[in-house]
Each structure stands twice: as structure tokens, then as C-alpha cells.
Amino acid sequence: MNLQQLRIVREAVQQDFNLTEVANALYTSQSGISKSIRDLEDELGLELFVRRGKRLIGLTDPGKELLTIVERVLLDTKSIKQLAQQFSSSDQGELRLAITNGHAGHVPEAVRNFKKLFPKVRLLVHQASPKQTAAMLLDGTADIGISMEALEENPDLVAFPYYSWDHVVIAQRGHDLEKVTPLTLPDVASYTIITYERGLTGRPRIDEAFANAAIEPDIVMTALDSTVIKTFVEAGLGIGIVASMAYDANRDAGLTLLPTAGLFAGNRARIVVRKDRYLRGFACRFIELCAPALTESVVRHAATVKGESELAD
């Protein structure tokens, strides 16, 4: 058994069992791919693939179990290479972040300080949904995730508390709600609402608040991004419910921020890494720049031994 055979198993799944595409992706021949698969099955004494004639059409049950191990082995192999890079060149390389909507305004200071400390490290930032963030961490596409959602359904991820945030109500400047004090949920629900799509940026907390008050809000539009919500609100198409860090008094001069203390339950952003994945020193340093309590020793210990998906807040 060798790593190339394991790569072939993973690539076969990714290429929908098209061996021509597998061969192209791995820069080898189709006949070589077929032989490697046969040799691996002979060595294990198992059929790993479901076949229709000479074509592969899926994985057998043992093949599905093997795929889970293959993913882990190949990721660990990648970590070994990163470990070598860590000690051969500790101040250069690449750091990949997956960030869910709303965090762009919260990390610039950490990014500025990081670039001063590690000018040779290339920093790549990908905006992603919570599910995409989890997937990127699991397949090694991202080193660190910053998410408004806990991602606790993934046992292979470890989430660290980052910062707390709230939902706020915004309206077009001069809106009638500016005169309403204190603002209540019935007041908010008396107008059409624009907010986030379900499952994003703490949307469940918004729905929960209205459900607990036995109120059915008139949510006429939803969006992935706060900027879109603010654009429609400023156009007078409704009031908006957005993450508190999405509003900037100077930048959003056409909008007014309404007092919403106590209307919605609080939220917490999290820094997320894959459990058991080796992080280079500068990756740990970036996390510490975001949250000083998350030192390298804290992060490495939690990512190595924590049995649960999330540390206690």
C-alpha cells in the first residue's frame, strides 16, 4: 500500500469515478490507475468499488469506510510537510483564512499586525458560508476559520470563543421608528423586514425572538451579505436586522441605528481549527493576535486532546 493508491481512492470519488479524469488530475495513465486500484484491493482482500462492467460507479461499504481513513491519512501527510516547512522556513509561507459574512470589519487590526510580524507570509482570505468554512477546514483548504456559527456538528473541529456580538435594527434616516422609545418587537414587526438568509449570521436567534413573542414578522427579503441588506434599507424598501458590526455611523450616513437592547439574544463569533491538524507557528500567532488569551500552547493543546468539538465559553 502506498500514498498514491490512497490518492487514487480519494480522487476517484472527487471525479465521480471517471478514471480518465482521475488520471488527468494525478498526471498518470488510466491503465496505471486501474492497476493501482486492483493491487490495493488484492492487498486488502476487499472490493472497494462498485462496478458495472469495467466502469466504476461507486464505493462499496468497505470502500466508504476506507475513504474516511484515506482523508485523514492524506491530511496528516500534508501536516508532516507543513511541519518540515515550519522548521526550515518559519517566517514565510501561506496562511489561508475562511471567514463567514460580517467579520471583515473585525480582523483588519490583527491582519495589519500579522503582516508587520510576517511580511513574507502570503495571507489568503476566503469569504464562505458556515458549511463552506467547515468543509474548507476539513479538507485542508483553510487553516483557520472565523465563523459566527458554532459549527458544533463537526466533531473534527475545535472552536474557540472569539468575541460577542448582537443583532441591531437599522432604518432609513428619518424613519418613524426613530421616535419610538423604547423599541419593542411588535414595533419592529409592524414594518417589512430585510435580514439574513436562514441559517446565516445568527438568523436562528432572530427567528427565535419573534417566535417566543408569538409574532410572525413580515420578512420580505433576505440576503447573504450585510451590504445588500443595508442597500435595500437605505432605498426605503423596509427596515433591516443586521449584525452590530455591520453598521458604521460614518460609512452608513443614510441609515439610522435604532436602540434594540434586549430584543434579541446575544451571539458569539468563534475561531475554528481542525482537530489534530498541525498549525504552523505563524498561524497560531495570527489566532493570538485576534484573541490574546488563545496562545499557541492553548490552541495546540485543545486541538490535540479536546474530545468535544467546542471549548466552553
Residues of the chain with CATH 1.10.10.10: 3-70
pTM for the structure as a whole: 0.65
**ω before 119 within 30° of 0 (cis)?**
no
Q: Which pLDDT tens digit goes with each residue over 267-278?
A: 888 999 998 777
Give pLDDT tens digits for 131-183. Answer: 889 999 988 899 999 987 766 567 889 999 898 899 999 999 999 999 999 99
For the chain, where do the domains classified as CATH 3.40.190.10 start and end?
92-164+268-305, 167-265
**What pLDDT is recorded for position 309?**
42
Mean pLDDT (the chain) is 87
- What superfamily in CATH does domain 92-164+268-305 come from? Periplasmic binding protein-like II (3.40.190.10)
CATH topology of domain 3-70: Arc Repressor Mutant, subunit A (1.10.10)
Banded pLDDT at 85 (limits 50, 70, 90): low
In the CATH hierarchy, which fold is given to the domain comprising 167-265?
A: D-Maltodextrin-Binding Protein; domain 2 (3.40.190)
pLDDT score of 93? 83
pLDDT for the residue 104: 65
Give the mean pLDDT of 124-134.
87
Q: Which of 77, 56, 76, 73 is nearest to 14 (CA)?
A: 56
- Average pLDDT (42-71) is 88
- Condensed to tens digits (0 to 9), the pLDDT of residues 182-225 reads 999 999 999 999 999 987 888 999 999 999 999 999 999 999 88
Tens digits of per-residue pLDDT, 12-36?
Answer: 889 888 988 988 888 888 888 888 8
DSSP per position, the chain: --HHHHHHHHHHHHTTT-HHHHHHHTTS-HHHHHHHHHHHHHHHTS--EEEETTEEEEE-HHHHHHHHHHHHHHHHHHHHHHHHHHHH-TTEEEEEEEE-TT-TTTSHHHHHHHHHH-TEEEEEEEE--HHHHHHHHHTTS-SEEEESS--TT-TTEEEEEEEEE-EEEEEETT-GGGG-SS--HHHHHTS-EEEEPTTSTTHHHHHHHHHHTT----EEEEESSHHHHHHHHHTTS-EEEEEGGG--TTTTTTEEEEP-TTTS--EEEEEEEETT----HHHHHHHHHH-TT--HHHHHHHHHH--SSB---
Instruction: Indicate whether 263 pLDDT > 90.
Output: yes
CA dist., res. 93 & res. 121, Å (int): 5
